[in-house]
Chains A and B, each alone.
Chain A
């Protein structure tokens, strides 16, 4: 990769952190004329231990639930001061800071129409506080607050369909991506920032971010798991420009080529208990197949 990285080495991210790789790729695409507003979470903790920083772009962190609001303030201030032209504004947050506690601020930012690209790094639980259940946590995943016990087999309830909810705000661009497909991720970042620059309003990218520590898998398998989430149909790659859902471009393997969800589960400690529960695996497989069928795959 190029030597003019904007997210640099030396930070304290875990080996195999999916988010760190994604951030690096996103900033490679966004370039130096970029300001980042970051929510509290692993990304902030691991990259900005005073007096060090991993960021070579202007970066601001205020709190957990408000990356979208802080970014909104930066946006209008630069506009008023005549410094907005040619500058990308990115809001970065984890799934907790987006699906749960930051959802209201995100919705407000989307409604107000700021030319900001909001990126959620979704590792499907509150990892920074020690792997607690979130509305992003998939069914039956074992976390420290939804443990797989003798009576209850991990998280109850579904995963909040955040990208669909965001797209329902009728914004300029909504996409999902993973680091297993870097060209796709970068293309989506480019598209989002172009639409921001054209004044078309907010963009949102849902980045699936495997977490070796929280999901309990070997750190060298992050890219493989990212790919397998797509190959099983568990995480569907798509992009949608504008509010019209018929413009949604979906990339999903057809049923005959999709890998069984069990292959994805068996690589991760958080789903280990499911391997003894074929009915639960069948239930998820059915849900995934139905979801993909609805999308025409």
Chain B
């Protein structure tokens, strides 16, 4: 259902943006993904070869790993560097209220009542979208 409105948009995404999307897709799923699965996941009419090239580039940067024991050709995200990043992030952001003030956070807090309203919204949206 989602992403159907975005077919044919792939041409307008830059190589760097596609790299981010592939990396995000790998992190979002629990298991390793093959290029074909990634192609299906991010959609937007992306060519298989493009996905392959992007994965190669991410691999060269050490951001993804080839799945050694699993299915051939599957990739998974490199966890070690990301764990160090998480450590640094928590050190930087959790020190006090000040440092965070300058940042753009995607979302902030919710009250219990707001939470209920958003849950209803998602439920309604899902039903309509299905």
Q: Bound pair: A and B?
A: no
Q: Which residues of B contact A (CB under 8 A)?
A: none
